[in-house]
Amino acid sequence: MVREKGGFWVGVAAAIVYPMSAALGRRRTVHGERLPRSGGTLLVMNHVSHLDPCYDAVFVHSHGRVPHLLGKHSLWNVPIMGSILRGAKQIPVYRGTTDAQQSLRAAHEALAGGQLVLIYPEGTITRDPDGWPMTSRTGVARLALQHEGPVIPAARWGTREIYDGYSKKFRPLPRKTVVTLVGEPVDLSAYRDQPQTLALLREVTDLLMGEVKDLLADIRGEQAPEGFHDSAKNRDEN
């Protein structure tokens, strides 16, 4: 399969995020070879800092793929940034509006077109005080089950030490290392022919985020907690 070409706007984004991420912290990737080099791919990751998209986009791009991230639609209204996001074919997420399903449709189309879609199922940076994943939205399960392409879990750690979005603490020095660990594709064959009930979608979502949590535990060298941090603001299913 032919790899997707980035084009002008992806080049513009790369010219910004590569030096910015390098200036803020060192990057290290473990098992990057597990990321498919072509074809529709769903990449499932944790979310701990507003810096995550920058480092994750560089990780994906440096491994020969064009990243298509789902992000808050309000970013598309920011001057210059909005132009780059539209030009690079990123996917706006409309939550709590009549356009809420539009982001999932766009993600489905991207996967069907052989693109790599990167999703943060938690929907926002985790509210867990220790940085472990929260209970996630089930949209990731809908995407994963409706496409035959690989579903790859990955975890990244180190960005929150640079910038903590809740405490507003920015600590670029001493220089930190941001580590990304890529997991093996998740086998969802046992779920694909079942009716997509809310219970099934929740089970698949927790399965995928469980893989992400285990990868995060490996990076941190810690025991992951049981279950997921439950934020009342994150319970709605979409």
Give a yes or no: residue 213 inside a domain.
Answer: yes
101-114 per-position pLDDT tens digit: 677 888 999 999 99
99-111 in b/e form (b: 16+ CB < 10 A) is: eeeebbebbbebb
25: which strand partners?
176
Residue 75 has a pLDDT of: 73
Give a yes or no: residue 233 inside a domain.
Answer: no
Give a yes or no: residue 38 inside a domain.
Answer: yes
Q: Which domain holds residue 131?
A: 7-219
**CA-to-CA distance for 136 and 236, rounded, in angstroms?**
9
Give a yes or no: residue 228 inside a domain.
Answer: no
Share of the chain above pLDDT 70, in %: 92
47-58 per-position pLDDT tens digit: 999 999 999 999
- CA-wise closest residue to 40 among 139, 154, 144, 122: 144
**CA-to-CA distance for 48 and 217, rounded, in angstroms?**
14
pTM over 0.95: no
pLDDT band at 99 (very low <50, low <70, confident <90, very high): low
